[in-house]
Amino acid sequence: MTVNPVEELQRQGLLSDGLSGKDADWISSVVSDEQLSAFVETAERINALAEPAVQQKPVEDGSLALAMVKVLGWDRPAATTVDAEVEGMEEGNCLCACTGGGGGGGA
């Protein structure tokens, strides 16, 4: 099933209903399914800021952004494989931001 990007963006409140036919056709021709998903997911995450669980979550530094990160589980790793090979990447050519290396270049 193919989703019409214009209709979905309008349904999500990310695009006005008063869009010209020319603009709607252009958006439909350039927005991929992956981009549409990214737009919708970003809007959902931003809307999560208003959730009571985020607003009421006690956070050490009082940061609303940190509360959102914790409530949505972004502070927990999503990786399921450790030491997996990445196609096209040689060992030692990437440093994770977690190591403080900042990425890129060998150590």
Q: What is the pLDDT of residue 25?
A: 93
Average pLDDT over every residue of 63-75: 70
Q: Model-level pTM greater than 0.85?
A: no
For the chain, what percent of residues have pLDDT higher than 90? 15
- Given this model, what pLDDT does residue 43 score? 83
Would you list the DSSP string of the chain?
Answer: ----HHHHHHHTTSS-TT--HHHHHHHHHH--HHHHHHHHHHHHHHHGGGSHHHHH---TT--HHHHHHHHTTTTS-----SS---TT--TTS---GGGTS-SSS--
- 23 vs 17: CA distance, rounded Å: 11
- Specify the pLDDT at position 106: 46
